[in-house]
Structure 1
Amino acid sequence: MTNAAWFVLIGTLLIMMGLRSPFFQRLRLTPSIVYLAIGITLGPSILGAFHFNPLKQAHLLEVLAEIAVLVSLFIAGMKMPLPFRWREWHAPVRLAFLSMTISVALTAAFGYYVLALPLGAAVVLGAILAPTDPVLATDVQVRHMGDKDPLRFTLTSEAGMNDGSAFPFVMLGLAMLSAPVSFELLGTWVLKDVLWSTVAALVVGVLMGRLLAQLVWKQRFLISEGPLLDDFLGLGLIGMVYGICLLLDAWGFLAVFAAAISLRQSERKLASIHAPGEEPSSAPAIQVLPEESTPQHGTQVAEGSLLFKESLERLSELVLVMLLGGMLFLDSWSFRAVGLALFLFVIVRPISVFLGLLGSGTPVRLQMLVGWFGVRGIGSIYYLMFAIVYGLPEELALEFIHITLVVIVLSIIIHGLTVKPMMSKWWSS
């Protein structure tokens, strides 16, 4: 396809999505399903108008997926309606860490015993497919800053954290591929990839979010030198936090999510301390809006930067899902790939959720819905490309590409077609 044809196609799609086409609304099709259908039609599976080779373009695809996940994690963190208190957050934390571990273990067992993969490769595959996705799961995400729906909150906060908690298992699998398993290898992995990288990420994220909130508050309400560029502030926070984590060998995805939550909650706390009537006379008045509306009292950078980032998230979804369709061949649909996908959706996800939330007091109905909506997507693409760039053997890389693409495509279709009726039933009850 020519550049002109691509511009026309993408422009048409954006207009159709922007107008919320009645045709797609009646069919209850999610945007991801539409983008995927077009990508598959134009790709090598049907018309062959374009083909994107993920093995040759692994570096490019890694960066594209990395940016999409970072933006989506920041948006998810900004929308979190509750400060971090164990009473409200215990279920998502258990899902993101305990259920994640169980999911990796079950998927790795399938890869080792059924697919006959080496143990290290099976662990890498489990880590690639285990995290749920914050990019493609928009229909089950927190919609705005006042959205306190328990299902949306649980799924969004889980996806925000498990994109970071999966990283240690990727590193463990890659280490097992290059060296025999030993107590020394496992000890180094626990200390460096689990404890240090996780704790450092949380500390960096929380501190940087709080520091930016303090800086913005002083600049805006004490110095009052004019309007600030909230989009730049949000993007700058993402870049700084992620860059620091790369330097420290900490998990940047987890840090960016923590930074967004810290920024928003710090702004709310500062606003509550300097409530209207108590703030300095030189400060502009803050308009307090209802909880259901998107802008929140005291969340200046949060509300000011969300609009642009949500548009960036939708654009990255369009590009990456269409590229996904351009990677698929008809022979990608092997029994191994489809079998693993069904095993992941029907067995691994429900069991890992049930075991992870055992004894938590989470309602059974909520557990069942969370156990179904384990959407896989751009996060899995990033981890796959990361493993390939890291040095995954080519034979394993090719098989993992086919398996991961089939899992994501089936997730987009199956979860996309069931999300609206199941969410409607959830709200009506």
Structure 2
Amino acid sequence: MTSDLVFLLGGAVLLVAVALPSLLTRAWLSAPVILIVVGALVGLLPVGSQFAFDPTNQRETIEHVTEFTVLVALMGVGLALDRPLSWRNRASWRTWKATWTLLGIAMPLTIAGVFLLGWWGLGLGAAQALLLGAVLSPTDPVLASDVQVAGPATRHRGEDERDEDGDDVLAEELGEDEIVDDDEVRFALTSEAGLNDALAFPFVYAAIFLATLGPVTAWGWRWLAWDLVGRIVIGLVVGLAVGWLLAHVAFRSRRQVLRLAEQGEALLALAAMLLAYGVAEVAQGYGFLAVFVCAMTIRSQARRHEFHEHMHGVIERLERVLTLVVLLFVGIALTDGALEDLDWRGVLVGVALVAVVRPVSGWVALAVGRWRLADEAHRPLAGRERAITAFFGIRGVGTLYYLAYALSEASWTGERWLWSTCVFTVVLSVVVHGVLVTPVMTRLERDRERLSARP
């Protein structure tokens, strides 16, 4: 009887997850907020005990589920970005200016802010405070769909896709530069979320080394050369190589049977994701970075081909299911003791991060280096746009993954407190940002339309 109820409950919740995106198009609540509330209600039911979990005893399960969820989200983000980034084109790098400043300035400032608050302000150990800063630093590619780009802009067959002889032509021969991605807020938040999950890893390792190897002098140079630089380079190279190889086969193979783009075999996206991650991890590089770079490399080939839309659709549906699972369990955990070890220090960390540390760090980063961009479509962020971009740095599944990973690599004092603090911060971010995102983005888009309509 209990198993029947579980199936019934699972079907009902899945139906809610499928219907939520269209139902909440103009609502003041985002889908993640509703899913957490539903999970909390499930936890209060008698059958909810069937889904109860202990983060300290089921750390490995949490680590793998959240790891795969982040991987799927990173693949989707890489395929969704329309804006080109070419190693040989300096102008394309300038169009990513907001991304580089968020990664190079806002993220380190966020880590430093949380670290100082924990170590100097709350009396935490240096390793514990650094771990807290590292796991809370990345913005989330999973829960930030409401402030991200919608998906790849493509051209379908029949839309001027044939040459004078009637043969199909690849998208770059149609003028891929015609794709215009002029929403700087959504682009900045999407690209930041795609890259900073991987860039949080060196600082997680630094916290682990501080807890296990002692003072920085014992491991600092090795961390700088290998964990901060070497493994990032490996992740980049693997992502580029796997993405180029698979894209070449899918779009340009001499054997028609291997041109998967023509066959519409969208599961190539999953194969690419797993292959890039596996190769990078075996090579000791950062797999998260390799997956994102692989997705962007595939996207750069035949940029306007409809195959990108098909691949993104497969990834998006899988991401939705995984997000449903993770958020439901987070909600169930809320009513099953996940916050039992939360105290005023954890509340202060969460509130300070969401309300002060991230917004200030983001604002400072986006105000620095007002480069002259390549064209008028990709202009610098205006004042209100900078404020919105700085504020909507949503925390989510990546935080849970990094914490589970770090806790499995070393022994930490206050392990349950760390879990309670991070779960509280994630839920706080989801609720605050989820409530504000629709009215704020709607107002921003309305103001843009008004300005563009002026003579």
Please tell me the TM-score bracket, short chain as reference: 0.7 to 0.9
In structure 2, what is the Cα distance between the partners aligned to 1:392 and 1:16? 40
Aligned to 1:137: 144
Of residues 330, 333, 354, the one that matches 1:324 is 330
Distance 1:20 1:261 in 2: 29
The share of aligned pairs that are identical, in percent, is 32
Letter in 1 for 2:388: L
Are the counterparts in 2 of residues 206 and 259 from structure 1 also a CA contact under 8 Å?
yes
**Other-structure match for 1:264:** 299
Partner of 1:60: 61
In structure 2, what is the Cα distance between the partners aligned to 1:315 and 1:148?
A: 30
Paired residue for 1:381, among 357, 378, 400? 400
Answer whether contact 1:54 1:327 (CA < 8 A) is retained. Answer: no
TM-score by length of 1: 0.87
User: Aligned residues, how many?
Assistant: 397
Mapped contact 1:97–1:162 kept (Cα < 8 A): no
CA distance in 2, matches of 1:80, 1:22: 22
Q: Could you tell me how far apart the structure 2 residues matched to 1:406 and 1:314 are?
A: 22
The CA deviation string for residues 206-248 of structure 1, in whole angstroms up to 9 with x for no partner, is: 22111111111233xx432385463331111111111111112
- Alignment equivalent of 1:402, drawn from 420, 426, 429: 420
| 1:390 corresponds to 2:409 | yes
Aligned residue in 2 for 1:209: 243
- Aligned partners of 2:20, 2:408: CA distance in 1, in Å? 38
- Give, in whole Å, the separation in 2 of the partners of 1:359 and 1:96: 13
Match of 2:285, SS state, is coil
What does residue 31 of structure 1 align with?
31
d(CA) in 2 for partners of 1:203 and 1:267? Answer: 21
2:134 to 127, 130, 134: 127
Taking structure 1 as reference, are residues 113 and 172 closer, same or farther at Cα in structure 2, changes over 3 Å only?
Answer: same
**One-letter amino acid matched to 2:421:** I
Contact 1:44 1:327 survives alignment (8 Å): no
CA distance in 1, matches of 2:122, 2:391: 24
Q: 1:148 Cα shift? A: 4.1
Deviation per CA, 1:320-342: give whole Å up to 9, x if none: 01111222325354212211111
Contact 1:65 1:378 survives alignment (8 Å): yes
* CA deviations over 1:289-344 (Å, ceiling 9, x no partner): xxxxxxxx2352x2221212111101111100111122232535421221111100
Deviation track 1:375-395 (CA, whole Å, cap 9, x = no partner) reads 0000001001101111232x3
Aligned match for 1:182, one of 202, 216, 219: 216
1:27, CA displacement in angstroms? 4.9
1:150 pairs, out of 158, 168, 184, with 184
Within the candidate set 409, 413, 429, 2:431 is matched to: 413
Secondary structure at the aligned position of 2:267 is classed as: helix
Deviations 1:132-160 (A, max 9, x none): 00001110111121354211110000000
8 A contact 1:332–1:406 mirrored in 2: no
Deviation at 1:43, TM superposition (A): 2.4
Give ranges in structure 1 of 5+ residues lacking alignment: 269-296
Label 1:404 to 1:182 Cα distance change in 2 as closer, same or farther (>3 A): closer
Local SS of the residue matching 2:57 = coil
Contact 2:28 2:436 in 1 (8 A): no
Quote the offset at 1:182 in angstroms: 3.4
From 90, 100, 106, the equivalent of 1:93 is 100
Corresponding residue of 2:203: 169
Once residues 41 and 313 of structure 2 are traced to their aligned partners in structure 1, the CA distance between those partners, rounded to angstroms, is 31
Contact 1:198–1:251, Cα closer than 8 Å, also in 2: yes
Q: For residue 357 of structure 1, report the CA deviation from its aligned partner.
A: 2.4
TM-superposed CA distance for 1:3, in Å, is 3.0
1:371 aligned to 2:403?
Answer: no
Conserved? CA contact 1:44–1:51, under 8 Å: no
Deviation at 1:17, TM superposition (A): 3.8
Match of 1:292 in 2: none
- The 5 A counterparts of 1:228-267 are 228=263, 230-267=265-302
TM value normalised by structure 2 = 0.82
Residue 45 of structure 1 deviates from its aligned partner by: 11
CA gap 1:159/1:48 in 2 versus in 1, 3 angstroms: same
Structure 1 CA distance for aligned equivalents of residues 252 and 3 of structure 2: 47
After superposition, the Cα gap between the structure-2 partners of 1:112 and 1:33, relative to the gap in structure 1 and judged at 3 Å, is same
Q: Structure 2: which 5+ runs fail to align?
A: 86-91, 154-180, 371-380, 448-455
Q: Deviations over 1:59-106 (max 9, x none)?
A: 111110011000000000001111112111121122123211111111
Query: Counterpart in 2 of 1:223?
Result: 255
Q: Quote the residue 2:156 is aligned against.
A: none
Residue identity opposite 1:118 in structure 2: G
Counterparts in 2 of 1:352 and 1:325: CA distance versus 1, 3 Å: same
- C-alpha change, 1:359 and 1:46, in structure 2 (3 Å) is farther
Whole-angstrom distance in 2 between the partners of 1:313 and 1:400: 26
For 2:12, the equivalent position in structure 1 comes to 12
Q: Hey, what's the Cα distance between the residues in 1 that align with 2:296 and 2:216?
A: 38
